[in-house]
């Protein structure tokens, strides 16, 4: 029995060895069947699939993973590897060359392909010693791929007091909205195809309601994506430009006594103007004041008469009580 088991074990080993050699030879023959001289022939490279062009009004993925579409730039996608980043900069600058520096900033905005979203200038140009100067608030939109150069050039204007920059990543929200938009477009096409095939009036009414709802949602998402595209492609730069007060002027040429005399005279002039305006007001409002005075006098007389009657009545009561 033991001898028979050993013989059976040897037969099994021999079968496995023969099958292994057979599979090895078969694999080797297949790998060299197309080659000459025992060298495998290289395979022809496969052509990369050509993506279908995006339809009008739709968004598609670009080479770098970013999105392309109508009215869509690739500035932020190129700079941040396909991420959707909203850039915001804030600069506070003071200068003693207000007009020249403001003009330079606006020229740079135009040179970098941007535009002024809003701008305001307040105050008046200082002409005397310690006059308060002007200040400008600028909200500028600059292409995202050029905003760094623009900010550096703006920082060279006057004296930089503060500088802040922010980057908001909206990639997750953006791609989520885009996915929803694509799903809604497919849904809209299906609803339209069903509408063509159905003849039931009730179904037609419900389908038209659903088509209207989906269309409105598509328009809202499209508008939101376009707004985000604008914020991503054009960074916002807010500049506060403050004009320094002059250290030289007419007041520097006056003595302390002369400045006191001018201040005192200015105060007296102000007081005289106040009383003059008060007199004009009293004369112009005299008709109304006369009527109000008459009403007041009548009310006072009535109140006084009432008080006298009460006093007399109280006196009579006291006299009776004493008796």
pLDDT tens, residue order, the chain (323 aa): 444 444 444 444 444 444 444 443 444 344 333 433 333 333 333 333 333 333 333 333 333 333 333 334 445 555 567 889 999 999 999 998 899 999 999 999 999 999 999 999 998 887 766 677 899 999 999 999 999 999 999 999 889 999 999 999 999 999 999 999 999 999 999 999 999 988 889 889 999 999 999 999 999 999 999 999 999 999 999 999 998 876 655 544 556 777 788 788 888 888 888 888 888 888 888 888 889 988 998 999 898 888 888 888 887 777 777 76
Which tokens is 318 given?
Answer: 């006291």
Residue 188, pLDDT score:
93
Strand order through the sheet with 234-243: 115-122, 135-143, 234-243, 85-95, 159-169
In angstroms, rounded to a whole number, what is the distance separating the alpha carbons of residues 261 and 265?
Answer: 6
In the chain, where the domains are located: 73-170, 172-231
**H/E run at residue 316:** helix 286-322
Q: What dotted CATH number matches 73-170?
A: 3.30.70
């Amino acid at each position: 029995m033991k001898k028979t088991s050993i013989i059976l074990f040897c037969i099994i080993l021999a079968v496995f060895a023969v099958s292994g050699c057979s599979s090895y030879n078969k694999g080797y023959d297949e790998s060299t069947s197309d080659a000459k001289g025992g060298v495998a022939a290289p395979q022809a490279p496969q052509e990369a699939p050509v993506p279908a062009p995006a339809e009008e009004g739709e968004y598609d993925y670009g080479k770098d993973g970013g999105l392309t579409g109508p009215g869509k730039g690739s500035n932020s996608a190129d700079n941040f590897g396909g991420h959707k980043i909203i850039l915001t900069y804030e600069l506070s600058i003071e200068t003693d060359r207000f007009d020249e520096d403001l003009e330079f900033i606006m020229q740079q905005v135009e040179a970098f392909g941007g535009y002024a979203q809003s701008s305001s200038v307040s105050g008046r140009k200082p002409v005397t010693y310690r006059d308060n100067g002007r200040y400008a608030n600028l909200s500028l939109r600059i292409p995202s791929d050029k905003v760094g150069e623009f900010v550096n050039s703006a920082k060279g204007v006057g004296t930089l007091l503060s500088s802040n920059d922010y980057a908001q990543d909206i990639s997750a929200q953006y791609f989520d909205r885009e996915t929803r938009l694509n799903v809604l477009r497919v849904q809209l096409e299906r609803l339209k195809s069903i509408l063509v095939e159905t003849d039931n009036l009730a179904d037609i009414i419900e389908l038209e309601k659903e088509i209207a709802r989906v269309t409105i949602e598509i328009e809202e998402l499209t508008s939101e994506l376009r707004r985000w595209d604008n914020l991503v492609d054009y960074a916002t730069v807010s500049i506060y430009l403050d004009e320094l007060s002059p250290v030289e002027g007419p007041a520097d040429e006056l003595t302390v006594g002369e400045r006191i005399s001018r201040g005192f005279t200015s105060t007296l002039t102000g007081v005289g103007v106040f009383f003059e305006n008060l007199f004009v007001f009293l004369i112009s409002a005299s008709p109304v004041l006369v009527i109000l005075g008459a009403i007041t006098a009548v009310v006072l007389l009535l109140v006084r008469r009432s008080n006298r009657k009460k006093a007399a009545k109280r006196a009579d009561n006291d006299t009776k009580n004493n008796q």
